[in-house]
Structure 1
C-alpha cells in the first residue's frame, strides 16, 4: 500500500479548524504524516495548529509557515516537505470521512493513475449564503469516472479533495502559483491538465468524501465567482490547442476542430436576462418576460433546496434566486476580463 502525506493549506481558518482537525484525527488508516501549512494567519489559527501538533505528536503532525501568500504556495510548501508516495490535498474548511484516505489511496495500485479525486459534499448550511453556495458550487456526480484529458466540461478536479503521486508533482514542478495574476484561481484545473499532458490518468472516486463549509459572505462569493470566470479564460487559452464549447439551455455543443479558443456559456442566468433586455430594444413589451423568468428562478431554486433537504421561506427563495443572478454576472465579468487578458473568447 502506498504511503500518504496529507497537506492542508490554512489561512485564518479559526471558524472551521476545530471540526477539520477533529476529523483528521479520526482518519483510518492514519496517513504517514500530516503537514499543516499556515499562510500568514492573524486570527489565532497558528496557535491552534501548534496545540493540535503537541496533543497528537504520535500522528506525525508538522506545522509549517509559508510567507508567500496563496493556497497554491502553501500546497507547494507542504508537498516539498512531505515524504509520502502520495500527497493528499485537502482544504481547512473541509472535514473528511474516516475512510477518506483508504478510498483515495486504492487506485494508485494502477501505475497509469497519476491522481485521484474525491467527492466534495456541502456541509449542512447555517445561512442563506451557505445554502446558496451548497446548491450551486462543486456539484460532483455520484458515479466513478476515469479522465484522460481536460476540457471545459470534463477532467477538472479541485484540490480541496485531490491526491497526486509525489514523483509526478516533482516532475511537474508542483502547483502553478501564478495562475490568474497570482490569485491561484484555476490552479487545480491547470494541474489536472498537466497530469494528462504527462500521459497519466485521474480517477474520480465518489466514496472518498469530504464535507465542505462554503463561503459565508456576499463579497467573498462575488470575488470567487469573478476569479473563477477569469481562470476559465486563462485555462482555455493556455491548456487547449483550440476548440469551441457552447453551453445552450437545451444541450451543450462542441467543435473541437475549431481554430478558436472559445467557451460560451449561453445557459447562465445572466445571459438569459441579457437576451431579454436586447430583445426589448427591438420590442419594448418583451421586457415583461423578465417577470415569468424571475418566478421560474424562484421555483427551480426552491426545488433544488428541497432536494438538498432544506425548506426555505418565500423571502429566502427570492434571495437565493437573486444570488444566482449576482454570481452568474460576476463570473461572466471575470470571463470577459480574462478574455481580454489572455486572448481567448470566454463569456
Structure 2
C-alpha cells in the first residue's frame, strides 16, 4: 500500500471545518493555479475575522515532475499532500483519509469553479447522498475550434444524463459526505472510478441528485492526441468494469459493434449543435467517426486478447 506524505510546509487539517475540497493533481500547474485562484477568494469571503475558513482545501500531488514550490508559496491557504501511487483515484482516497471534515467536495485541478460554487456547495451540503453539479466546457485556444475541441463541445460531460439515467456524477464536480464515503469504500482506480464509486453508493441505498446551479468549467481537449489518450484510458477502465470472463468478453465484443454503429447516428447531433460554427461541423464529424472506429478496434482486441489491469 502506498504511503501518502505531507509536502514541505503543509499543515494538518483544522478541526471543526465543514467541508474538505479534494483536488488531485499531476503535472498541470498552470490549470491548478487557475483552479486555486478561483477557489481561494470564495473561501476568504466565507471566513469570519481571523478564524479558520469553513473548508479544508487539499491538493494531492501524484508525483509531478513540475516544480510546485511557486504555487505552494502563492496559495498558503491550501494543504499540499503527496500520493506516490499513480492515478487520480489513489490521490482522492488520500485526500479523504488525510482530512477530517464531514462533507467532501470533489473537483479536478483543470476545472474552474463558478464564482458561487463554494457557497452553493455549502448550502447543499449536509445531505447524506451524492450531488452532481453542472460541467460546462470551454476552449483554451482562439476560434475556430479544432475537430477535437468541437467534438468535446458536443459530447463531453452530459452530467445531467449521467446522474439521472446512469446514477453517477463525474468527480470534476461531485459532493458527498464522509459518512457515505466510509460506507461505500474508496475509489477504485482499475475501473472508471467515478461511475463505479457512485453506482456502488447508490446500490447501498444512498440517493443521488443533479443540481445545475452548482457549476464548474472544464477545458476541451484541443487536439487529437489528448482526446485519444482520454478514450484509450476510459476504454480500458470500462473493459475491466464489465468483467473479464468469457461471457463478459463476448458482450464487450458486441458492444464494440454498437460503438461503431453509433457514429452515423450521432452526426445529426453535431449538425444541430448551436455552439458550433459552420466550419467546425465537418472536422467534428471526422473526429466522431475516427474515434468510434478506433474505440471499436480497441474493444475487439480487448475481447479477444484481454488487457493488463490499470495502475499495476
TM-score above 0.5: yes
Match of 2:83 in 1: 66
- What is the root-mean-square deviation of aligned Cα atoms in Å? 3.2
Equivalent in 60, 67, 71 of residue 49 of structure 1: 71
Partners of 2:107 and 2:125 lie apart in 1 by 18
Whole-angstrom CA distance in 1 between matches of 2:211 and 2:262: 35
SS of aligned partner of 1:322: helix
- Give distance in 1, aligned partners of 2:134 and 2:157: 9
**Cα offset, 1:261, TM superposition:** 8.6
TM-score of the superposition, structure 1-length normalised? 0.69
Quote the offset at 1:4 in angstroms: 1.1
Pairing 1:132–2:101 present: no
* 2:159 aligned counterpart, secondary structure: coil
Change (3 A) 1:267 1:26: farther
Residues 338 and 107 of structure 1, relative CA distance in 2, 3 Å threshold: farther
Q: Which has the larger radius of gyration?
A: 1
Q: Give matches, 1:7-46, under 5 Å.
A: 7-27=22-42, 29=46, 31-44=54-67, 46=68
Contact 1:103 1:205 (8 Å CA) reproduced:
no
Matched, 1:141 2:153: no
Could you tell me how far 1:35 is from its partner in structure 2? 0.2
1:31 CA displacement = 4.3
Give 1:106 deviation, angstroms: 3.8
Distance 2:225 2:59 in 1: 27
* Equivalent-residue separation in structure 2 for 1:74 and 1:52 (angstroms): 22
| Pick aligned residue for 2:92 from 57, 72, 75 | 75
Deviations 1:52-95 (A, max 9, x none): 333xx4xxx20111111111111111111112111111001100
The alignment partner of 1:26 has SS state of: helix
Asked if 2 retains the 8 angstrom alpha-carbon contact of 1:49 and 1:63, the reply is no
Alignment of 1:317 with 2:286, yes or no, is no
Q: Secondary structure of 1:98's match? A: coil
The answer as to whether partners of 2:103 and 2:175 remain within 8 angstroms in 1 is yes
Q: Which runs of 5+ in 2 are unaligned?
A: 1-15, 47-52, 308-312
Quote how far apart the aligned CAs of 1:25 are.
Answer: 1.5
Partner of 1:121: 136
**Superposition pairs for residues 1-347 of structure 1, below 5 Å?**
3-27=18-42, 29=46, 31-44=54-67, 46-54=68-76, 57=77, 61-110=78-127, 113-126=128-141, 127-128=145-146, 129-141=148-160, 153-179=165-191, 186-237=192-243, 264=255, 268=259, 270-271=260-261, 297=267, 300-304=269-273, 307-308=274-275, 310-313=276-279, 316-339=280-303, 341=306
CA contact (8 A) 1:227 1:331 kept: no
Structure 1 unaligned regions, length at least 5: 148-152, 180-185, 244-259, 274-292, 343-347
Displacement after TM superposition at 1:216 (Å) = 2.5
Residue by residue over 1:200-225, the C-alpha shift from the partner in whole angstroms, topping out at 9 and shown as x without a partner, is 11121111000001223312211221
Deviations 1:24-43 (A, max 9, x none): 12325464110011111223
* SS of the residue 2:112 aligns to: strand
Q: Is the 8 A contact 2:102 2:177 kept in 1?
A: yes
Does the Cα contact within 8 Å between 2:31 and 2:109 map onto a contact in 1? Answer: yes
- Distance (Å, rounded) in 2 between the aligned partners of 1:85 and 1:263: 43
- Partner of residue 9, structure 2: none
Taking structure 2 as the reference length, what is the TM-score of the superposition? 0.76
